[in-house]
A and B are shown apart, each in its own frame.
Chain A
Amino acid sequence: MDGIHDLGGMSGFGAVEIERNEPVFHERWEARAFALNNLGIRILEAYNVHEYRHAVERMDPSHYLAASYYERWFTGVATLLVEKGVVTRDELEARAGGRFPLARPAAEVKPIRVTPGAQPRFAAGDRVRVRDVHPAGHTRAPRYVRGRRGVVLRASRAFELPDLAGHALAAHLEQTYHVEFEARELWTDAAESRETVVVDLWESYLEPVG
């Protein structure tokens, strides 16, 4: 989805401040929220990590930007546990004593059956283009590289395709690649030209450049 989470390259944000001696968790509830996700994935086996990422992406954009990291994290966990029928929103609101914001529902995504090639389709040095598509569901191809040309640095490893796993669909293992893009290719106004961005992309996100 072309969601608020896909922040790469957006303008309008200010300075980035480093907090000295930052604790791992600032408040107790953050540690509990962190552990609750582990419970949901590993103990309850209610959902997988791709579904978790997508649940956070589905938050209302204004809530997403206003929330802290662990509030986003927690909203993803609570959303999935409600969607999977482990708890109900009504009981959560009754126990919390107020409104309990959750993420919006996922788009419907159709299962696809793919027989992955035995060999990686691309090799280091190959020129590729990221397919310029706008899937309604979960994907890990950031908007800022779609339609852009880059060079394969290395064929990495095969991992489950998140576009399927993020919707609890059977996901095949698919080759991933580290693809390098020149700043000038990504940003037409890039005056700074001694920069590149390397993005980790699944094979089906890519097409060869002839």
Chain B
Amino acid sequence: MTDSRKPEPDAPIAERVRALEEALDAKGLVPEGFLEKRAEQAQESFDPKNGARVVARAWLDPAFRARLLADGAAASAELGFRAANSEYLVVLENTDAVHNVIVCTQCSCTAWSVIGLPPDWYKSPAYRARVVREPRALLRGMGLDLPEQVAIRVWDTSGETRFMVLPQRPAGTEGWSEERLAGIVTREALIGVARVAGTDFMNA
């Protein structure tokens, strides 16, 4: 359908979105307030702070950690973070020997309920192309310089399973509360392109 030889330029994207919205609205196909509500809900409920709380709980509670590694969706739901369509969530545990990192090479799938909607860098062609081919160099370029002896396992979200990384708890955080621990877990750590630093940003 696209005819790239047509001389006139594309309508600006914001105009195209408005046009579709108006065309649907004119046919009475948009329930009152639906688009606003859905967009708001996305910003409120798909939040990497959810995954951060899951991680903090796993660091403090060995029984929860075991449940999380056995069934990520059920354990996250214990904290109130439920995925739509009873998503299959597999939690990947980082250790001294293995570092896990997530990608979706063919689109940009993530576990929305715990990681949130994917950030721009995760959706970039550069990340999707490079992380499966040269993960160590790519991660170094993103600021994560892993020792040579650490194996890297890249997980391509090509099917319906969703993944979340369980990062290692940094030294120097002994005795911290769950809330304080959750405060240092970033979205990048949940995807595996960063480690959790033992710096307390809330008090920095």
A contact set with B: CB distance below 8 Å: 5-19, 22, 24-25, 27-29, 31-36, 38-39, 43-44, 53, 56-57, 59-60, 62-63, 65, 68-69, 71, 74, 77-79, 81-82, 86-87, 89, 91-93, 95-105, 140-142, 144, 156-157, 159, 176, 178, 180, 186-187, 192, 194-202
Contact = CB atoms under 8 A, between A and B. Distances in A.
Which of B2, B148, B151 has the most chain A CB within a 10 Å cutoff? B2
Contacts of A14: 126
A66 to B, nearest CB: 10
A101 B2 contact: yes
Contact of B24 (A86, A198, A201): A86
B77 interface: no
Nearest to B193: A18
Contact of B17 (A13, A29, A43, A69): A29
Given A101-B2, A156-B88, A140 B159 contact: yes
B23 A32 contact: no
B138 A142 contact: no
Contacts, number: 247
Contacts of A81: 20, 24
B23 A18 contact: no
Majority SS of interface residues in chain A?
A: mixed
B20 A77 contact: yes
Interface of B: 1-2, 4, 6, 8-24, 27, 29-31, 34-36, 38-39, 42-43, 46, 88, 90, 103, 105-108, 116-121, 123-130, 132-138, 141-142, 148-161, 188, 193
B105 A7 contact: yes
A17 B152 contact: no
Nearest to B156: A199
Given A31-B39, A34-B38, A194-B152, A102 B1 contact: yes
A94 B92 CA distance: 49
A134 to B, nearest CB: 15
A140 B2 contact: no
A9 B129 CA distance: 5
A166 to B, nearest CB: 12
